[in-house]
Amino acid sequence: MSAPMVHAEKVHKSFGKVEVLKGIDLTVELGEVCCLLGPSGSGKSTFLRCINHLEKVDAGRLSVDGELVGYRQSGEKLYELKEKETSSKRAEIGMVFQRFNLFPHMTALGNIVEAPIRVKGLGKAEAAERARALLDRVGLSDKVDAYPAQLSGGQQQRVAIARALAMQPKLMLFDEPTSALDPELVGEVLDVMRGLAADGMTMLVVTHEMGFARDVGDTVVFMDGGVVVESGAPHDVINNPQQERTRAFLGKVL
C-alpha cells in the first residue's frame, strides 16, 4: 500500500500566543474525498493552509504523498525547505479559496494559462488548448475572454477551480469554496466539485454544505477548538454523531 496523500500526526500551530491547532491527527488516502466540518475558528482553514505551505507547522508531523511539508529530513535533523523547493511542492497541490482570488487583470483564459506557462514551462498553444478544455469542463467555454469582474461569483469560482486543475495537481484543497456565494450559485460550484470527485481526484474540502459532505465525502472530519472531535463515514458522523459537541454543531446547521 502506498503512502497516504495527506498524513497528519499531532500537528500544532500557533499565531503568537493563540494556539489554533492543538494536535491534529488526520489521514487522507489517494482518491479520497475528505470533508472538514466545524464552527469558524476551529482551525479548519489553518490546517488546509499548512498542507499547502502557506503556514508553517510548529510541532508534529505533516506529510503530503509521503514527503514532509516544509521540511526535509536527513537522519535525525530537519532542514527548512528553500523557497524554490516549497514552490515546486505547492505546484503539485491545487487550492481553491473562499474569495476566489482570481487575477483581476487577466482574462479567464489568462488566469488559467499563467502558471502552466510560467511555472511548468508549457508551450503557449498547448496551455491555451488545455485551458479551453478545462473551461469547457466547468461549463464556461463561452467566457474565455471575460475578465473576473465581468463574471458572477459562481463563474469566478469555477474559473478558479479550472485554474488549479490546469497544474494537474495530485491533491485539491478547497477552503470554503461556496461560502462567499449567493445561495442560488452554490449548486453550480458543487456540481463541478462532484464531477471532480467522480473522476477520482483526492480532495480535502472545508465546507458548511452538509448535503455535499454527506453525498460526496468518503470521510467527514469534525473539528472544534483546534482538535479533531470526531471522524468517520459521513453517514455515521452526520446522522449519528457520538460526541456531544458534534451533535450541538450539527443541530444548529442542519
Partner 1 sequence: MTSTASVTAPERLVAVPVRYWGRWVSAVVVLVLVGLFLYAMTRADVNWQTTRHFFTFPTIVRGAGRTLLISVLAQALGIALGVVVAVMRSSGNPVTGAVGWFYVWFFRGTPVLLQLLVWFNLAFLFPTLSFPGLGSAKTSDVMTPFVAALLGLGINEGAYMAEIVRAGLNSVDEGQTEAAQALGMSRGLLLRRIVLPQAMRVIVPPTGNEFINMLKTSSLASIVQYGELLLAAQAIYTNNLQIMELLFSAALWYLVLTSVFSIGQFYLERRFSRGATRNLALTPLQRVRLALLRSERAR
Positions in 67-96 near partner 1 (CB under 8 A) = 83-84, 87-95
Closest distance to partner 1 from the beta carbon of 82 (Å)? 10
Least spacing, CB of residue 103 vs partner 1, in Å:
6
Number of residues in contact with partner 1 under rule CB under 8 A = 35
Measured CA angle at 110 (ends 107, 115), to 5 deg: 145
Closest distance of CB 85 from partner 1, Å: 11
Closest CA to 63 of 6, 9, 3: 6
Q: Is there binding between residue 3 and partner 1 (CB under 8 A)?
A: no
Per-position x/- string for 40-69, each x denoting binding to partner 1 as judged by CB under 8 A, each - no binding: ------------xxx---------------
Question: Tell me, what amino acid is at 178?
Answer: T
Question: Should residue 163 be labelled a site residue for partner 1 when binding is judged by CB under 8 A?
Answer: yes
At residue 209's C-alpha, the angle toward residues 25 and 115, to 5°, is 75
For position 179 contacting partner 1 by CB under 8 A, the verdict is no
Q: Cell 463515514 belongs to which residue?
A: 233
Instruction: Indicate whether 97 belongs to the interface with partner 1 (CB under 8 A).
Output: yes
Residue placing its CB nearer to partner 1 in the complex, 10 or 49: 49
Instruction: Name which position in 150, 240, 242, 243 contacts partner 1 (CB under 8 A).
Output: 150
* Cβ-contact 24, 83 below 8 angstroms: no
Chain residues in the site for partner 1 (CB under 8 A): 52-54, 83-84, 87-95, 97, 99, 101-106, 114-115, 118-120, 147-150, 160, 163-164, 167
